[in-house]
Amino acid sequence: MTATAVGLTKIGVMAAIGEGATIALAGAAVKTGAMIGLSVAAAALMRPNTPSSGTTLDFKPDPKAPVRGAMGYTALGGNKVFQATWGYKKVAMSLGVALSLGPIDQVPRFEADGATVTFSGPQSEATGFYAADMWQRTTLGLPGDAALLPPTGLKYGNPGLTGWGTQHAAPQVSFSFWTMVLAKNPEDRDVFTNGVPDPRWVGRWMKLWDPRKDSTYPGGSGPQRRDDWRTWEWSESPYVHALAWCRGHYKLNLDGTIDRTKRIAGIGAPDAAIDIPAFVEGMNVAQANDWTISGEWSTSDGKFQTLLAMLQAGGGEPISRGAQISVMVNAPRVATYTYTRDDLIGQAEIRPLTPRRERKNTIIPRYKSEANGWQYVPAGEVTSSVYRDEDRGEPRSLEIEYSHVRSAKQAAQLAAYDLANLREGLTATLPSKVHLMHVHPGACIKVDVPELALAGQKFIVRRATTNHQSASVTLELRSESDAKHAWALGQAAQPAPSPSLSAVDPKYVPPPAPEDWTVVPKPPSDGGVSQPIVVIELPIETTDIVTVIIKHGPSATGPWTDGYEGSPRTDGRYEVAGLTPGQTYCFSLQYVAKNGAKSEPDIKCGIVAGELTAGNVIPTAPTIVGLQGQINAAFGDIFNVSELVADARTQLDAQGAEIAAARGGQATLSARISQVNQARIDGDEANAIAINGVAARTAHTEADIIDLENALANETMARAEAVGQLTARQALNPNLTPNGNFEQGSAAGWELPAGFGAGYSSFNGGWIAYGELTSGTVRNVQAPLTSVSSDVAAIQSSQIAYRMASNAYVAACVMFFDAGYGYIGQTPWEPLAPTTDWTVWKAEAYTKPAAAAWSRIVVTTGGTEGFINLRQAKTEAGSVCTIYSSDASVSSLSATVTEQSLAIVDLENQQSLAAWHVVAEASGGKPARIGIASSALGTYVALDAPYIFWGDNTVFEDATDTLQTTVGENRRVLAFGAPFGASGNLLEWWGPATTALGTMTTGNGLNGRMTTAPYVFDNVIGGGKTGGARSFSSGPGGSSAQSTVPGVLAGSMLEATGAINGGSLDADAPLFGTISLYEESGGVQTLVY
């Protein structure tokens, strides 16, 4: 949904909002000036700190120099690691120079003092001016490169070179061995009168893996393979080099494999911790814009700063996407989500302007010019009259050096992007609902919240922080202008003006959100007499609302009756009386702001007013209870039984003389009324008494209502009792899929691809399979194999419950396999409609192949970003999917419910002695709530019975008065009768839910009580920690270490904490590590976490 706010008053938004001020826009509290300067961070990203980039052309004499790697097409000064003179009167000089980490493509050109020198012949002797005076050999940095040696047969070559030989190979380093004769005649030094010439090697340097050229990578095509360096090719893409830096540069083996235990340079993150599709997107954008990289990295620079410099050349920047290293590239973006008021929780923070000192209108880019001897030179100013006019003509310039850029055009385009991004001064922090956890940094969304002065404004997500405790997601956003891309790439003369807040209507007040208020019927008061009342619960957190208006009526269009109009109440509770018993109502809620503006009403319908309780029974008339049943026999979806009691004197008169005698106080009358079907009394009759209503919901229900009997009376007291016995058979077909809803407490049988997992989710109330969908990656989630052999009906149906992000593509089908698990067919793929609410996909009435012995539900996730959750996989015989059942052996579920609507009516006292009613119907994962009331104790009732069973917790199949409950992964069992457990001595036990009842002991529980001394046990020792701290270090270089904790009791908890003592660690570098827990028994270790 997209909406545009109407015009503001004469005072503009910028004038009305000062930095750091708290403002109210259209009734919503918004705080500005709290963005911690995203533009400051953006400016820092434009100028990465890599000191080594200034020494690329230097001829550096340092045998212990850091490792360097050359990127793309560029010139190097090299690092001198060896130098010696030799021959007659030391007339010859040889130098060993390390150029770049390999493998490299080629070194086509060498320059000495700026003049190109070529070499030829078996000993690579110089031609031209330096003929017979200079020799040079180079290697390509392969792991099998042999040592380079000086030329032989020189006229003055004795004595020979010492300190250098075949043992001085430099594998995996592009190396140059450079030899010169310093004089034609040993007596005079007439060749190199100015000393050793300044060398420069110009080449096409490192070969790297490009996913786009690898057919094994989704969407790739070509012979390259990520783990075979022999297939790699030379690349000048900034994102290819950035990806390689994130993955790390390792020792290469001769057979093409990579020894990942020996990292030479780079971050060294595993592929699972890198958002490779984002890097691939950057490669494509850089290729389309002709953006290349030309430069050198060094291990002396910080890892994060090195990554910044690489991405700067491709118009990108690194971001954190959950636990992955990702990138964001400057390119046109399509909004993948429209953010509305319904997504916002809490207080939004808006910063409408970039601070004055950071608001630049001109950038002067510096780049590396080959024409100028590979020196950094300034390009022309990048500016716009639009930006200068916004700054009232004041020049505000900034010089940025693009250290790995060798093209003036590329430098100008990158500078234009940086300038436009600096002008994106509109930033926001939005605390949001948890379903937005699928929105990741780098994503583009559209914010359409007019009360925040944001109407259809596009934003880039800079950071997304998930708070699992409060089930919320905080999005930090920066505005995004579409027109800047054409301007930055030279396709438009001017950029769009800097983004600003949208105009707002001061009279606009946002309507109440449906989830912000509830309507609840009020239970009867003490004594059993009450008029129908509903309670509206409406917490209001803002002071902008001064009046609440509540109305009710028979329909959404009225006519309306005032229920409440006044100030918001501190407890948020509003009672509305004067309702007609049993009538269905709509309720309207409106807000009034301080300026008198009213919101549009939010309306809720389908609210049924409660019935009167039995306080107005006429004492001279007996009372008959009527049973009204509405049964949907065709679909069996809803079963609703309500009992009505009314004044039925005219009906009793028709029964004859015995009724008349009872009314006159004559002898005892025993009358049997059989087969009374749906005695209905109009709700507007004065003496109608509705005792209670019970709603029971189930799916596919058959109902049989039996046995309505016994209206009893005598000459002094008439007691009416209606007993309805409902036998309901729930037609649930057996679930043939084992562990379809993770009933085993694990993902046994499920086949989950990389990036997916399974576990208990408190938010979803049980186990689910979950996964993040990644652009360019297709994954298949497979439910457990289901046996569909010949004894199972040929017509079958399957279903699975899912919820997923709105931009994810997902499809499902049922696949069939023969007895040897060979694939033999499937149902058609069916796309799943995007929804963040749990929804059931169904494949009904399909015919399994005759040869099918197995089937399974398969869900495929497409190549777009998002998330998906799955649960409740079910396959059953028949042409219709029944509701999910967890037990595959259940063929039907039967229940007998006996309802006594009017337990006792004492006609002499005119009071209801006991009654029960529905407080809340079953909803979602919550059961129905039933209230019980008595005239003496209000809403409390004393229960008196030989045995009291709570739900289905007669855990020992007898009447031992037991209770049990499960909370998370633990279960509590409490016995009021005979003890239980393996030793028969437990009265109470609290421990892992997976422990069987018959095997419970004092050793495998957390705590509890028993019949034998010491009568209590506690394996947690009051909840404290046992054992001392055990410290161990993994050591440098990313190695691992372990420590053993002996004597751990079953069911105990272990706590492991880690600390990183950085020393020389780069504070900005991403860090990775894991903690694993093994259980050892009998010398065998088993991974448990």
Same-domain status, 349 and 462: yes
Same-domain status, 200 and 212: no
Is 529 a residue whose pLDDT tops 90? Answer: no
Is 663 a residue whose pLDDT tops 50? Answer: no
Same-domain status, 1002 and 965: yes
Is 899 a residue whose pLDDT tops 80? Answer: no
Mean pLDDT of 11-23: 30
- Buried-exposed string 596-623: b where 16+ CB fall within 10 A, e elsewhere: ebebebbbbeebebbbbbbeebeeeebb
**Cα–Cα distance list, 1063 to 153, 426, 911, 1042 (Å):** 52, 39, 81, 22
- Is residue 141 domain-resident? yes
Span 402-425, pLDDT tens digits: 999 999 999 999 999 999 998 888
Beta strand 397-401 with 669-671 is unpaired
Helix axes 238-247, 303-312, angle to 10 degrees: 160
- Full 3-state SS string of 832-864: CCCCCCCEEEEEEEEECCCCCCEEEEEEEECCC
Domain boundary among 321, 355, 388: 321
Same-domain status, 643 and 680: yes
Same-domain status, 928 and 1048: no
In terms of Cβ atoms closer than 10 Å to its own Cβ (0-12, 13-18, 19+), residue 747 is middle
Q: Residues 6 or more apart from 834 whose CB is under 8 A from it? A: 804, 805, 806, 807, 808, 810
Are 803 and 837 in contact by the 8 Å Cβ rule? The answer is yes
Phi, psi angles (nearest 5°) of residue 532: -65, 130
Q: What is the pLDDT of residue 664?
A: 44
- Is residue 1075 domain-resident? yes
Q: What is the pLDDT of residue 648?
A: 40
Is 45 a residue whose pLDDT tops 90? Answer: no
Q: What is the pLDDT of residue 24?
A: 34
Are 693 and 593 in contact by the 8 Å Cβ rule? The answer is no
**Higher confidence at residue 850 or residue 1060?**
850
% of the chain with per-residue pLDDT over 70: 68
Mean pLDDT of 616-624: 35
pLDDT band at 887 (very low <50, low <70, confident <90, very high): very low
Mean pLDDT of 784-806: 85
Q: What is the pLDDT of residue 630?
A: 40
Span 573-586, pLDDT tens digits: 999 988 888 889 99
- Distance CA(748)–CA(740), nearest Å, equals 9
Characterise 55 by phi-psi region: left (phi > 0), alpha (psi -120 to 50), beta (else). Answer: alpha
Peptide bond into 1014 cis (omega under 30): yes
Span 1012-1048, pLDDT tens digits: 888 898 887 544 444 444 555 555 555 566 666 665 6
**Higher confidence at residue 695 or residue 1059?**
1059
- Of 57, 131, 36, 44, nearest to 99 by C-alpha is 57
- Buried-exposed string 916-929: b where 16+ CB fall within 10 A, e elsewhere: bbbeeeeeeeeeee
Same-domain status, 771 and 682: no
pLDDT band at 726 (very low <50, low <70, confident <90, very high): very low
Mean pLDDT of 846-864: 86
Q: What is the pLDDT of residue 110?
A: 96
Structural domains counted in the chain: 7
Which CATH number goes with the domain that contains 772? 2.60.120.260
Q: Which tokens hold the place of 188?
A: 């005079």
Span 113-126, pLDDT tens digits: 989 999 999 999 99
Mean pLDDT of 961-984: 82
Question: How many Å separate Cα 672 from the centre of its chain?
Answer: 65
Residue type, 995: T
Is 690 a residue whose pLDDT tops 70? Answer: no
- Of 724, 666, 721, nearest to 694 by C-alpha is 724
**Most confidently modeled of 264-273, 722-731, 822-831?**
264-273
pLDDT band at 971 (very low <50, low <70, confident <90, very high): confident
Containing structural domain, residue 191? 53-204
CA angle, corner 1049, sides to 1044 and 1054, nearest 5?
55
Span 814-823, pLDDT tens digits: 999 998 888 8
Q: Which tokens hold the place of 967?
A: 């909370």
The residue length of the chain stands at: 1089
pLDDT band at 595 (very low <50, low <70, confident <90, very high): confident
Q: What is the pLDDT of residue 707?
A: 38
**Most confidently modeled of 251-260, 936-945, 971-980?**
251-260
pLDDT band at 665 (very low <50, low <70, confident <90, very high): very low
- Is residue 496 domain-resident? no
Peptide bond into 103 cis (omega under 30): yes
Domain boundary among 178, 204, 230: 204
- Is residue 572 domain-resident? yes
Same-domain status, 347 and 245: no
Q: What is the pLDDT of residue 933?
A: 56
Mean pLDDT of 840-853: 90
pLDDT band at 51 (very low <50, low <70, confident <90, very high): confident
**Most confidently modeled of 62-66, 291-295, 324-328, 984-988?**
291-295
Within 10 angstroms of residue 100's Cβ, the number of other Cβ atoms is 27
- Is residue 306 domain-resident? yes
**Most confidently modeled of 629-638, 710-719, 1060-1069?**
1060-1069
Mean of per-residue pLDDT scores for the chain: 75
- Distance CA(970)–CA(1001), nearest Å, equals 15
pLDDT band at 728 (very low <50, low <70, confident <90, very high): very low
- Of 42, 3, 201, nearest to 111 by C-alpha is 201
- Of 146, 142, 150, 90, nearest to 123 by C-alpha is 150
Q: What is the pLDDT of residue 153?
A: 83
**Cα–Cα distance list, 860 to 435, 783, 811, 932 (Å):** 21, 11, 5, 49
pLDDT band at 112 (very low <50, low <70, confident <90, very high): very high
Q: What is the pLDDT of residue 1032?
A: 55
- Is residue 6 domain-resident? no
Same-domain status, 183 and 113: yes
Q: What is the pLDDT of residue 363?
A: 94
- Is residue 647 domain-resident? yes
Say which DSSP state 65 is in.
Answer: P
Is 851 a residue whose pLDDT tops 80? Answer: yes
Phi, psi angles (nearest 5°) of residue 895: -150, 140
Q: 357-366, 542-551, 632-641, 977-986: which has the minimum mean pLDDT?
A: 632-641
Q: What is the pLDDT of residue 136?
A: 96
Phi, psi angles (nearest 5°) of residue 490: 80, 20
**Higher confidence at residue 11 or residue 911?**
911
Same-domain status, 952 and 1076: yes
Q: Residues 6 or more apart from 608 whose CB is under 8 A from it? A: 521, 582, 583, 584, 585
CA angle, corner 168, sides to 167 and 173, nearest 5?
130
- Of 732, 733, 727, 752, nearest to 742 by C-alpha is 752
DSSP H helices in 214-275: 238-247
Q: What is the pLDDT of residue 558?
A: 87
DSSP H helices in 200-302: 238-247, 276-289
Q: Residues 6 or more apart from 652 whose CB is under 8 A from it? A: 622, 624, 659
Q: What is the pLDDT of residue 897?
A: 33
**Most confidently modeled of 549-553, 619-623, 926-930?**
549-553
Q: What is the pLDDT of residue 512?
A: 85
Is 539 a residue whose pLDDT tops 70? Answer: yes
Span 333-351, pLDDT tens digits: 899 999 998 899 888 898 8
Phi, psi angles (nearest 5°) of residue 541: -100, -10
Is 467 a residue whose pLDDT tops 80? Answer: yes
- Distance CA(344)–CA(328), nearest Å, equals 25
- Is residue 618 domain-resident? no
Same-domain status, 189 and 104: yes
Q: What is the pLDDT of residue 247?
A: 96
Residue type, 125: E
Within 10 angstroms of residue 1032's Cβ, the number of other Cβ atoms is 9
Which CATH number goes with the domain that contains 551? 2.60.40.10
Phi, psi angles (nearest 5°) of residue 385: -65, -25
Percent of the chain that is helix, strand, coil (3-state, to 5): 10, 40, 50
Within 10 angstroms of residue 762's Cβ, the number of other Cβ atoms is 9
Mean pLDDT of 675-693: 35
Partners of 326 in the β-ladder = 319
CA angle, corner 985, sides to 984 and 988, nearest 5?
115
Span 68-92, pLDDT tens digits: 999 999 999 999 999 999 988 888 8
Mean pLDDT of 608-630: 46
pLDDT band at 605 (very low <50, low <70, confident <90, very high): very high
Question: How many Å separate Cα 61 from the centre of its chain?
Answer: 51
Same-domain status, 761 and 851: yes
DSSP H helices in 423-482: none
Span 489-525, pLDDT tens digits: 989 988 888 877 766 666 778 888 888 899 988 766 5
Say which DSSP state 223 is in.
Answer: B
Same-domain status, 761 and 713: no
Peptide bond into 559 cis (omega under 30): yes
Q: What is the pLDDT of residue 173?
A: 96
Please enumerate, as own/partner, the contacts of 1049-1054 that have beta carbons within 8 Å and a separation of 24 or more.
1049/1003, 1049/1019, 1050/1003, 1050/1004, 1051/991, 1051/992, 1051/1004, 1051/1005, 1051/1006, 1051/1019, 1052/1019, 1052/1020, 1052/1026, 1053/1020
- Distance CA(846)–CA(342), nearest Å, equals 40
First to last CA, the chain: 45
**Higher confidence at residue 725 or residue 98?**
98
Is 41 a residue whose pLDDT tops 60? Answer: no
Domain boundary among 300, 321, 342: 321
Mean pLDDT of 911-915: 48
Helix axes 38-46, 408-422, angle to 10 degrees: 170
Is 955 a residue whose pLDDT tops 90? Answer: no
In terms of Cβ atoms closer than 10 Å to its own Cβ (0-12, 13-18, 19+), residue 344 is buried
Span 188-212, pLDDT tens digits: 656 677 778 999 999 999 999 999 9
